[in-house]
Amino acid sequence: MGLLEVDSLRVDYRTRRGSIRAVDDVSFKLEKGELLGLVGESGSGKSTLGLSIIRLVPPPGVIEQGSIRIDGDDIIDFSAEKMQSIRGSQISFIFQDPMTSLSPVKKISEHFIEFIRTHEPKTTKAEALKRANTTLRDVGILPERIADYPHQFSGGMRQRIMIALAITLNPEIVIADEPTTALDVIVQAKILDLLTELRDRYGMAWILITHDLSVVLERCDKILVMYAGGIVEYADSKELFRNPRHPYTQRLLQGIPNIEFSDQKLKAIPGSPPNLLNPPNGCSFSPRCSEGEPRCKSEKPQLLEVIPNHFVRCFKEM
């Protein structure tokens, strides 16, 4: 039994023009201390998938079916109060834009005290502050700055504070939704190193959501590639890097610049992702796929384990 088991999860946005299937029959497992990279382009449903794991899909999004098990308990059945009690303490979430993720009118200390005392009402303010200071030191923020307001910090520092908030209560799972997209490249690398370091020290499992495959390739244990709401490939990152089997993954890897062959032209994938209000029949990648067969346009391929721990959704692997 894994720490987190998502099974045939389906999330729809029920708009007036019809249902948009943002997450389509997604299943995966996350083990203790594992670093999972969730890769996909904008609109591939990766953020919705992340938010549905803490059951905070924004309306009109609805979890239509499937189960999300944490330590064996399906959180879909949890009451609103029970859900509140595990958010932040068992599963934490880090958002994309650190500039807007903290309330501008509250001091950093207030954010921590409120958060810790919500989950552990018996904690005194002094104890809460002490714990906040320890975690802040872990992420590289000077403890004396705890009395400052969010606007007194830079973007990278704010993201460090968000990370500190996320790990304060020792959650088993931390989901980070594009935690470095809003930051510059140097800070990006530092933040990513910090995540790996925290994983090594505290052993929590991470789900790192990103649109940048190169960001997760070298850091993550496993990688899950999403396209148009569905999983197209799911494998160990080394395996995925050496033997990408889905055409989409292959094209993504070709899109990463390589220092050794710097004069090589990068190849873009022609076309754009499908309109999810009106998804194509058959494989959702087929309109952009260069290796398609006729049946790709009419039949939907299944996600198959082609070799142990390597799942692909493509007819040519069957």
Partner 1 sequence: MGLRSYIIVRILLTIPLIMLLLSIVFLIIRVIPGDPVLLHFERKASEEAVEAMRQRLGLDKSLPIQYFEYLGGLFRGDLGRSMQDFSPVSEQIFSAFPATLELAICSMLVATTIGILLGVKASESYNSLKDHLIRAFGIIVYAMPIFFLGMIFQMIFAINFHWLPANGRFPPRLTEPRGMILFMNQPVGIAVWSFMIGLLCLALHVGLLRMKGVRFWGQGSTISLSHFMIVWIVGFTVWIVGFSYAQLNMSGVVRVSTGLFTVDSVIEGNILKFVESLRYLFLPSLTLGLVLSGVFIRLTRSNMLETLRLDFVTAAKARGLKESTVTYGYALRNAFLPILTMMGLQFATLLGGAILTETTFSWPGLGRYLVDRINFRDYTAIQGAVVYFALIVAVVNLIIDILYAYLDPRIRY
**Sites of contact with partner 1 (CB under 8 A):** 54, 56, 58, 80, 84-89, 92-93, 95-97, 100-105, 107, 114-115, 117-119, 121-122, 149, 151, 162, 165
Residues paired with residue 175 on neighbouring β-strands, in sequence order:
93, 207
Find the shortest distance in angstroms from Cβ 165 to partner 1.
Answer: 7
Q: CB-wise, 52 or 237, nearer to partner 1? A: 52
Q: CB-wise, 69 or 106, nearer to partner 1? A: 106
Q: CB-wise, 56 or 318, nearer to partner 1? A: 56
Interior angle at CA 297, CA 293 and CA 299, nearest 5: 95
Q: Which long-range contacts (CB under 8 A, 24 or more apart) does 111-115 make?
A: 111/161, 111/165, 112/146, 112/165, 112/168, 115/88, 115/165, 115/168, 115/169
Q: CB-wise, 108 or 314, nearer to partner 1? A: 108
- Amino acid present at 218: E
Q: CB-wise, 147 or 277, nearer to partner 1? A: 147
Q: CB-wise, 114 or 200, nearer to partner 1? A: 114
Q: CB-wise, 80 or 185, nearer to partner 1? A: 80
Q: Report the distance separating Cα 187 and Cα 111, nearest Å.
A: 23
Find the shortest distance in angstroms from Cβ 156 to partner 1.
Answer: 16
Find the shortest distance in angstroms from Cβ 195 to partner 1.
Answer: 17
Q: Report the distance separating Cα 309 and Cα 281, nearest Å.
A: 28
Find the shortest distance in angstroms from Cβ 226 to partner 1.
Answer: 21
Q: Which residues of 80-101 are buried (b: 16+ CB within 10 A; e: fewer)?
A: eeeeeebbbbbbbbbbbbbbeb
Find the shortest distance in angstroms from Cβ 176 to partner 1.
Answer: 11
Q: CB-wise, 104 or 294, nearer to partner 1? A: 104
Find the shortest distance in angstroms from Cβ 122 to partner 1.
Answer: 6
Find the shortest distance in angstroms from Cβ 255 to partner 1.
Answer: 29
Find the shortest distance in angstroms from Cβ 251 to partner 1.
Answer: 32
Q: CB-wise, 64 or 148, nearer to partner 1? A: 148
Find the shortest distance in angstroms from Cβ 148 to partner 1.
Answer: 9
